[in-house]
Structure 1
Amino acid sequence: MGSQLTMYISLIATSGVLCSFLAFYAYFKRKEIPGSRTFIVYLAVQTIYIFAYAFQLSSDTIVEIKRWTIVEYVGISFAPVLGIIVILRYIDRPISRSLAASLFVIPVITMIMVSTNDYHHLFYKTIEFRDGIPGPFTEVTIGEWYIVHGAFTFGSLLAGVVLLASQWRKTKRAYRKQLATLICGQFLPMIAAFVYLMGITPSGTDPVPFVMCITSGMYIWAIATTRMLTIVPIAKESIFESMREGVIVLDYAGRLIDFNGAVGRMLPGLNAGLIGTKLEESWPGLTGSPYPDVYSPDQAQEAVVEKEDGSPAYYQIRSSVVRSRGGEQAGSLLMLIDVTEQKLLQEQLTMLAYYDGMTKIYNRTQFLKRSKEILREGSDRKEPTSFILFDIDSFKQVNDTYGHDTGDQVIVHVVTVCQQIINADMLFARYGGEEFVLALPNSTLQEAGAIAESIRAKLEGTPLVTSHGQIVVTSSFGVSQSSEDGQSLQHLLRDADAALYEAKRSGRNRVGLAQHPLSRHALR
């Protein structure tokens, strides 16, 4: 019995040494370990419990056993709660100070009960040597608070196991070893404590300190092989999930390995069922865009995805190659950055720079720029270019009579009617307030005059329906054509303006050709 006891005490002392080693390791690595202070205290109280139990086994009197029992409960009382806090920190679940303080209520009461047990016997009713013979093992009769404390301890250990186990599916395979180690660190002492409370251990020995020898060894192994404590995968998972950018992880063959919640919201069709499949095959259906070149990390690419409400979402796609320790490609990362706001702002600025805000056709600045190009290209090909300048007749009277809102409707109405006649080769712009201009590549003066007459007739025959009733809108036109001597754009527009002025002098609602004003009947 003596040699067995010596061996058992030696194993317990070894467990205490391992626990102490972990505590010192955590202290020296405290800057690298999240929640290191709590973890150090957790290991310290476990160490106190283990060594106190070893000293208890070496005691010869009930008084000494009671004294070391009080020291033991420094660890037994507080270790389960500290373990819960360490686990919550590990899985990145914040806990308020008030809640943390409330968890210590029962352990504090337990310490008080154990320390003052001789006065009330609510924790141990009796502590006696087994068979009345002095020795390391005693028989106890438990009190009411012992049951409360036992239930609380068991519940705390079970809660720790459940919290850790709930993270199993969320934890990457590379980090599951350390997660399994932490689960065992909670589960094995819980089972050992349960067996002890059931009274089925040999000679009534407490197996928990011995089990801690095993769990401490597992912790040391996990630290050496997976850098447990200095790498917290659950916290990394939280960072991964909290990123605003969408992240997709691919293996070397382009198969989907993982993705975060942000990209799941960006691409609603992306789900766990696609994991293990080639992303290239499902990408067109997910985005409606070509699959990005994942092997060009320096090239920014773009995808346009239609949202549920039908509006477009623009995502900039950047890729990076993931390499193994040997430098070989192990996979790829795709990062999707939402640039919808920037894209829409850019489009708005483009609209302001290129287009008229009310009619959405080209503005004067863009017309002049593009017309010079059309005129130059026509000159190079020896083809004529014609210009039509027109404005709305009596537009000031419309504004004065019906108001500027109706005047705006008239302007939009004119553009709508024109777009029913002109084709894509013609350059159409708003030249001024109620003035419009057309550039017609490879068109003679007579051909342009015929187009102008078609627009004039269509406008006259298409009244605008307003809240004030129907308004007949008419316009006067001036047409000019480039010649082989190569007039400037300014000269041609001046000729068209002169023809327009002559058409107005002749009674409005008619087409005038440069130096050849025509009545509205002349081109029908």
Structure 2
Amino acid sequence: MGELSIYMSAVVFSGLLSLMLSLFAVFKIRSSPGGFYFILAALATALYSFSHVFRLSASSFENIRFWLNVEYLFIPFIPLFILLMCVRYVGLKIPSWLFQLLCALPVVTILMQQTSHLHTYFYSSVSFENNGPFPVLNLVPGPWYYMHAFFVFFCLLSSVLILMHQLQSVSPRYRVPTLLMAAGICIPILSGILHAYNLQPAGLDLAPVFLAVSFLFHGTALIMFPFFLVAPIARDRVFENMKEPVIVLNKQNMIIDYTRPMQKLLPVLNQSAIGQPVDKVLAGHQEFLKIIYQEKEEDFTWEIENGSYHFQPRFSLIYDKNNTDIGKIITLMDVTTRVEIEKELKELATIDSLTMLLNKAAFIEQANNANKALSRKGGYISIIMFDIDYFKQVNDTFGHEAGDRALRNVALTARDNLRASDIIGRYGGEEFIICLPDVPLKHAVRIAENLRQKIAASSITIGDQSITVTSSFGVASTYTSAGFHPPPLCPVAEQADKALYKAKSRGRNCVQSNLQLASSRRPEPEKKRNLF
């Protein structure tokens, strides 16, 4: 009985140790790679150890069999949790079907063991012996027991192989904890070998003790080296899964590495590009090369077959252990959404929300830019101003909603009958203004007349009533010789405004040009407007 007491004390200590490690892990590493399965493995081992102590303390066949069944609620899952812990630690991802299969096998083992009194698949025979220092069950393995043993060895050996393979890419800092992990997993494998060849004391199962020693290795690694507190260590697991386009260059601007998203942008990047000068590999992408050499973190547009993307480059220097600059990392941050939102906001700030034409400020800016462009090549530029005749009557008779619809209809009609290079905006109220680059006065008058006819011919429907409106137009023009500074547009707009006033005084629904002003007597406007 002294030998049994010593053994039971060792098992209790192992259970407490495993329980403490699992509780420690809950507070320290539960969110880290592999931490969740470390907690489950340690907790399952603790519960298995305590159940084993109760089985050793039992004296009747029924009680021993009961606690054996309790042990097997945890035993099949321990090797699985260890395997999953190692898989997550190195950053691997197993397919969902394989994960489901691995989880299903322990469940089947539990069902087989719990119902073993009904069949011989798990135990061929079970007998009770009470002629030794303590009562034991004599268990003869059945077919599924060997399947369970194979599963246990498969999980543990796979875990060791995964960790040993990891040593090829892990940094020296993490080799010691990785080796401790692998050594800890080898200990229960040794326990299984001793059990298979009946080399352990009769009636005693050394697995709980061996597992406790195994978790001592894991605990030492956990306390001394926080390997669970970092991302999966393997470089290829981290680098290749990055979503951002990244390229790494050494001090001599040779390509060291790149991510898959970068390869999608630059199909010329392949394995043969590694070690090659970046200017040679990317000779067909001069704009990107310019960004690399200038190292300016400014937004730029990347045109590809299925559209365009906007990126902001980020440059990070790489240093060796002596703090010497040995290269750089270029990361392209996708700012497409931000740029598109800024573009939309800018458009909203320049567009009149009712007519969807340029507002006054945006029109003046674009018209002045068009006028400045004439200094290079020379040419005419014309201004048309027009408004809706008797617009107040439309509002008073049919309501402001009808007036808004009339404004939108006039704006759409005018815009659809102009060139893409022409500039049109809502000047205020029911008044509109058009800038016609490279259009002389005579042609501008024809354009205005065409717009007048189109507007008069169009209509909107309010209820069962059709509403038509007419417009009055004033046209003015100026000429700039090539190489000369163009005159400001303000006087031209003032001439167009005077012509519009003349058209209204002539009965409305007509076109008047500034040339016609000189040959006719006209009353002066009551108040001169500041147009530009």
For the criterion TM > 0.5, the same-fold answer is: yes
Percent of residue pairs bearing the same amino acid type: 15
Selected match of 2:445 from 429, 453, 461: 453
**CA drift at 1:110:** 6.7
- Report if the CA contact (8 A) 2:459-2:469 is conserved: no
Name the counterpart of 2:4. Answer: none
Contact 2:379–2:479, Cα closer than 8 Å, also in 1:
yes
Please give the per-residue CA displacement for 1:120-164, whole angstroms capped at 9, x wherever unaligned. Answer: x976548899xxxx99xxxx97425x6545533431442455578
- Matched residues in 2 for 1:172 and 1:286: separation? 36
Q: How many Å separate the matches in 2 of 1:233 and 1:328?
A: 26
Do 1:478 and 1:501's aligned partners in 2 also have CA atoms closer than 8 Å?
no
2:315 and 2:331 in contact (8 A); partners too: yes
Equivalent residue in structure 2 for 1:391, among 386, 395, 399: 386
Structure 1, unmatched stretches of 5+, are 1-13, 56-62, 115-120, 519-524
- Residue pairs, 1:167-186, within 5 angstroms: 173-174=169-170, 182=181, 186=185
1:248 aligned residue: 246
Superimposed CA distance per residue, residues 275-321 of structure 1 (whole angstroms, 9 cap, x where no aligned partner): 8476957997999962574688883444445574x4x4433332323
After alignment, is 474-483 or 82-91 more displaced? 474-483
The one-letter code of the counterpart of 2:499 is A
Counterpart secondary structure, 1:418 = coil
Cα distance change of structure 1 residues 456 and 279 upon mapping to structure 2, 3 Å threshold: farther
Once superposed, what is the RMSD of the aligned Cα atoms? 7.2
Shift of the 190–167 alpha-carbon distance from structure 1 to 2, 3 Å rule, reads: closer
> Residues 248 and 328 of structure 2 are in contact (CA less than 8 Å); yes or no, is this contact kept in structure 1?
yes
Which amino acid is the alignment partner of residue 435 of structure 1?
F
1:364 aligns with 2:360: yes
> What is the match of residue 418 of structure 1?
418
Equivalent residue letter for 1:478: V
Aligned to 1:7: none
1:478 and 2:470 equivalent? no
Cα deviation, residue 346, structure 1 = 1.3
Mapped contact 2:25–2:39 kept (Cα < 8 A): no
The verdict on how the C-alpha distance between 1:167 and 1:123 changes in structure 2, with shifts beyond 3 A counting, is same
In the alignment, is residue 84 of structure 1 matched against residue 94 of structure 2?
Answer: no
Q: Is 1:341 aligned to residue 333 of structure 2?
A: no
Q: Deviations over 1:92-140 (max 9, x none)?
A: 58999xx9999589679979999xxxxxx976548899xxxx99xxxx9
Between stretches 315-324 and 171-180, larger displacement belongs to: 171-180
Matched, 1:152 2:151: no
| Structure 1 position 315 matched with structure 2 position 307 | no
1:233 corresponds to which residue?
232
Provide the rounded CA distance (Å) in 2 between the counterparts of 1:286 and 1:31.
53
In 2, Cα distance between equivalents of 1:296 and 1:420: 37
Residues 1:439 and 1:249: Cα distance change in structure 2 (over 3 Å): closer
Change (3 A) 1:306 1:408: farther
CA distance in 2, matches of 1:215, 1:74: 22
Contact 1:292 1:301 in 2 (8 A): no
Indicate which of 427, 431, 438 corresponds to 2:435. Answer: 438
Contact 1:315 1:339 in 2 (8 A): yes
Kindly provide the amino acid, as one letter, of the partner of residue 384 in structure 2. L
Give the direction of change, closer, same or farther, for the CA distance of 1:467–1:362 in structure 2 (3 Å limit): closer
The answer to whether residue 502 in structure 2 is matched with residue 502 in structure 1 is: yes
CA distance 1:448–1:323, shift in 2 (3 Å) = same
Distance change (3 Å), C-alpha of 1:258 and 1:478: closer
Residues 491 and 213 of structure 1: is their aligned pair in 2 closer, same or farther, counting only changes over 3 Å? closer
How many angstroms apart in 2 are the aligned matches of 1:207 and 1:272? Answer: 53
**Paired residue secondary structure (2:514):** strand
Name the counterpart of 2:518. Answer: 516
Change (3 A) 1:246 1:430: same
Per-residue Cα deviation, 1:413-432 (whole angstroms, up to 9, x for no partner) = 4334432685xxxx654434
How far residue 234 of structure 1 moved from its aligned partner, in angstroms, is: 7.1
Instruction: Find the counterpart in structure 1 of residue 523 from structure 2.
Output: none
- Are residues 90 and 388 of structure 1, via their aligned partners in 2, closer, same or farther at CA, if it must alter by over 3 Å? same
Q: Which residue of 2 aligns with 1:60?
A: none
1:290 matched to which residue of 2?
A: 288
Residues matched between the structures, number: 466
> CA separation of 1:77/1:361 partners in 2, compared to 1, >3 Å: closer, same or farther?
closer
Distance 1:148 1:481, change over 3 A: closer
Q: What is the DSSP-based 3-state SS (H/G/I as helix, E as strand, rest coil) of the residue aligned with 1:515?
A: helix
TM-score, normalization by structure 1: 0.56
Q: Does structure 1 conserve the Cα–Cα contact (< 8 Å) formed by 2:124 and 2:140?
A: yes
Contact 1:77-1:110 within 8 A present in 2 as well: no
Contact 2:249 2:256 in 1 (8 A): yes
**Structure 1 residue 497 displacement after superposition:** 1.0
| Amino acid in structure 1 at the alignment position of 2:232 | P
Call closer, same or farther: CA 1:229–1:430 in 2, change over 3 Å: closer
- Contact in 2 for aligned 1:388/1:496 (Cα 8 Å): yes
Q: Secondary structure in 2 aligned to 1:173?
A: coil
1:50-76 alpha-carbon deviations (Å, 9 max, x no partner): 99xxx9xxxxxxx9xxxx9x9999999
Structure 2 CA distance, aligned partners of 1:150 and 1:170? 30
CA distance in 2, matches of 1:487, 1:219: 84
Over 3 Å counting, the alpha-carbon distance change for 1:480 and 1:515 in structure 2 is farther
- For 1:299, what is the secondary structure of its paired residue? coil
Distance in 2 between the 1:439 and 1:128 partners? 111
Q: Kindly provide the amino acid, as one letter, of the partner of residue 327 in structure 1.
A: N
| Alpha carbons of structure 1 residues 45 and 348: separation in structure 2 relative to 1, 3 Å | closer
CA–CA separation in structure 1 for the residues paired with 2:381 and 2:448: 17
Q: Structure 1 pair 452/350, CA: closer, same or farther in 2 (3 Å)?
A: same
For residues 391 and 354 of structure 1, what CA distance do their matches in structure 2 show? 20
> CA separation in 1, counterparts of 2:109 and 2:208?
22
Residues 311 and 335, structure 2, Cα contact 8 Å, conserved in 1: yes
Deviations 1:160-199 (A, max 9, x none): 55578789999992279566875675578558736853x5
Flag the 1:494–1:216 CA change in 2: closer, same or farther, 3 A: closer
Unpaired segments ≥5 residues, structure 2: 1-9, 30-34, 118-122, 461-467, 481-485, 521-532
